[in-house]
Structure 1
Amino acid sequence: MPADVLCHHFDAGRCRSCAWLGTPYDAQLVAKQQLVEGLVGVPREGWSPPVASAAMGFRNKAKMVVHGSAEEPTLGILGPTGSGVDLRDCPLHTAGIRAALPVLAGFVTSAALAPYDVAARRGELKHLLVTESPDGELMVRFVLRSQEPVARIRKHLPALRERVPALVVASVNLLPEHKAVLEGDREIVLTEQETLTMRVAGLRLHLRPQSFFQTNTAMAAELYRLGRAWVAESAPRTVWDLYCGVGGFALAVAGTGADAPEVTGVEISPEAVASATLSATEAGMTGVRFETGDATAYAVAAASPPDLVVVNPPRRGIGPELAGWLESSGVDRVLYSSCNAQTLARDLAAMPSLRVVRARLLDMFPNTAHYEVLTLLERS
């Protein structure tokens, strides 16, 4: 595309996912900072400057709706009329993903994978999910309605790997129900390698197919570096990482020395816990353990609180029960990573004894109104 065009799909009105794309990037950062400062209410001296991201080529995961026909598939989104909008050259994606998507479109044809027709409720291939690691390796997941195409995918997979040597993990996810979700519960791994290695902030994190990872690798690395530095200042002996995912914060604040804190990570996803446990084992971090379970239930049932709690909840926040427990528990410090300053502000209001002493915005999602904000709370 021409040098002065950021995205021809946006300019043509085919895709408006990047709603802020027409706004200069510096102005985007200012607007996000003002929004978050106004909601969170931290004094200006408590804020560090926002962490800027590359405006394009930062997204390490493609979530592509497959439409059209096996002979002429579209990979992208559904338009207002339900037709497919092909976004295989979306400039948000990393270079490795952009290079792989046209080859994957050809694979849909060679393996005769009929795209799922939402209106007619027929067809098989619903989504293609592609993730690129910092090392340039790829994980590709085929979200299917049934197992019918699995044999064909297996048959043609060696040829695909020849054309895309970076492909190290391939799997099929089964989503038989007709509903607006990205994936189902059952995963069939098709390769010997089952995890994608994400090297960030000095960590070697394993990512299994159904595990969550931040979509902006550079911002994820900075998030974990900041978390490590802020936690280290108080030298806690015990740490909980609630909503730990694949263990990024837990492993970032842990260590292998004699003075390393005891760290417990809690996550509802068994796949994420398996990923985190493998990462800790390979790193020799014997003082770190991970449990599958509900973060709030774990905290409420505990006999005593740790010195520091890390929370990294989904957009809905930690909720009144966990916020109430943190307020009354006596825990000295909380590291709260939020992607929604509105729910963060609500949770902070429920914890008046825990005062925000440090905050920083990370632009995890350029060209949109979304962000990540890291806050450090101390008991007053």
Structure 2
Amino acid sequence: MECLYFAAERCRSCTQLATAYEQQLRTKAEHCAGLLADFDSLRMLPPQASAESGFRNKAKMVVAGTSQNPTIGILDADGHGVDLRNCGICDPALRAAFGIIERFIIRLGLIPYDVPRRKGELKHVIITVNEAGALMVRWVLRTKKHFVALRDSLPEFLRALPQATVVSVNFLPEHKAVLEGPEEIVLTAAQTLPFTLNGVQMHLRPQGFFQTNTQIAAALYRQARLWIDDIAPASLWDLYSGVGGFALHCARPGRQVVGIETSDQAVQAARVSAAELGLDDIEFFSGDATEFAVQSQTAPEAVIVNPPRRGISAELADWLNDSAVSHVVYSSCNAKTLARDLQRMDNFRPVLGRVMDMFPQTDHYEVITLLERR
């Protein structure tokens, strides 16, 4: 993939852009195999390749500059805006929306937040696109100074960008390096952006988590579903369930499925999906995965875990290791913490694994593994 921003050294986020994609994929597979080399029972399947460009379904853009000349992209080392609206890893539908975003910033006189001076209002614009091209647009403001202008301009905004299904305003009053604050007001009638992967419709709320590469997310869910259906457990837990991707894909009549997720919004979205799909044997609850497991009086036959980069807690690893769970599917975005957790869970034998290239042009990747009790 060619990138003028990379060539001009305006953005170096895609650290592997100068490396041929086939070599990137080989390097990731070798890196993962090296980290998991202590597990002789593990057979790695061929890595799942991604599209090289246009694969990101979410753009988290910093707004800087001025009301009449805004930048939409990132900040340089001095805190000044670098415009990246033609970033090649973003879905074309996202890139097409940035010009309209700019026009509304100018027309409404929205004041970009100046990080070095700690002044201004508009901090970020976060846009997500689903597989059908529908968009979720989130304006992140410091205060409510521009809220009325954004709310009142909604009909005009939707005429200019009819793909926008969900539009919301988020408030981040603190000066800190995060993307969003706790308060969110949805301006549109639609509250969720639907994603349909492998025939399973899921719903994303503004503050919910969804994998940033739709193609690889679909492949990840297919792989987990294949392994779970081969095992055919009567009961299944999906810990760190998010909007329910794994749980919804693995649900079957008569199979008792429970999803646990800390985000209330994600749990609400997962419940909507389950109701739409007519799934009676699946439940989603808001809570901590470790607390849910260790406090439970029973254990399921199989567990799926999809933790953040830090991996699962030592307490959860110990509980799984000593439980009656027969199989674990572990989806990880950090093979180092995966290797650590597998070492701790020595009553399980890793049997299958696969690198899923969720993040092309970088060193990062997802890896999914199947564990069976010894």
Whether TM-score is above 0.5 comes out as yes
Identity %: 51
Equivalent of 1:35 in 31, 37, 48: 31
Contact residue 194 and residue 208 of structure 1 kept, 8 A: yes
Query: Which position in structure 1 is the counterpart of 2:370?
Result: 376
Superposition pairs of residues 1-380 of structure 1, within 5 angstroms:
6-41=2-37, 42-43=39-40, 46-255=43-252, 257=253, 260-380=254-374
8 Å Cα contact 1:237-1:262 kept in structure 2: yes
For the residue of structure 1 that corresponds to 2:15, the secondary structure is: coil
Structure 1 residue 43: Cα displacement: 4.3
Show CA shifts across 1:133-167 (max 9, x none). Answer: 00100000001111111110012221121111100
When normalised by structure 2's length, the TM-score is 0.98
Gaps of 5+ in 2: none
Letter in 2 for 1:325: W
Alpha-carbon offset, residue 330 of structure 1: 2.3
Write the distance in 2 (CA, Å) between the matches of 1:113 and 1:203: 39
Deviations 1:202-233 (A, max 9, x none): 11000000000000000000000111110001
**Structure 1 Cα separation of the partners of residues 315 and 352 of structure 2:** 24
What CA distance in whole angstroms lies between the structure 2 residues aligned with 1:108 and 1:366? Answer: 31
Q: Secondary structure at the match of 2:22?
A: helix
Alignment partner of 2:52: what SS?
A: coil
Q: 2:4 corresponds to which letter in structure 1? A: H
Whether the 8 Å contact between 1:25 and 1:55 is mirrored in structure 2 is yes
**Aligned-partner SS, 2:153:** helix
Note if contact 2:41-2:349 (Cα within 8 Å) is conserved in structure 1: no
8 Å CA contact retained: 1:110, 1:156 = no
**Alignment root-mean-square deviation, CA:** 1.0
Choose 226-235 or 41-50, whichever is displaced more.
41-50
TM-superposed CA distance for 1:44, in Å, is 8.5
Q: CA deviation at 1:201?
A: 1.6
Closer, same or farther in 2 for the Cα pair 1:354/1:24, shift >3 Å? Answer: same
What is the rounded CA distance, in whole Å, between the counterparts of 1:155 and 1:72 in structure 2?
22
TM-score normalised per structure 1: 0.97
1: CA distance, partners of 2:198 / 2:291? 30
Q: What is the CA–CA distance in structure 2 between the aligned matches of 1:73 and 1:234, rounded to whole Å?
A: 54
Aligned counterparts of 1:171 and 1:85: Cα–Cα separation in 2:
24
Contact 2:151/2:187, CA 8 A, preserved across alignment: yes
**Cα pair 1:238 1:263 within 8 Å, conserved:** yes
State the AA in 1 paired with 2:158: R
Gaps spanning 5+ residues in structure 1: where?
none
After TM superposition, the runs of 4+ consecutive aligned structure 1 residues lying more than 3 A away are 42-45
SS of corresponding position for 1:126: strand
In 1, Cα distance between the equivalents of 2:349 and 2:178? Answer: 37
Number of residue pairs aligned between Structure 1 and Structure 2: 373
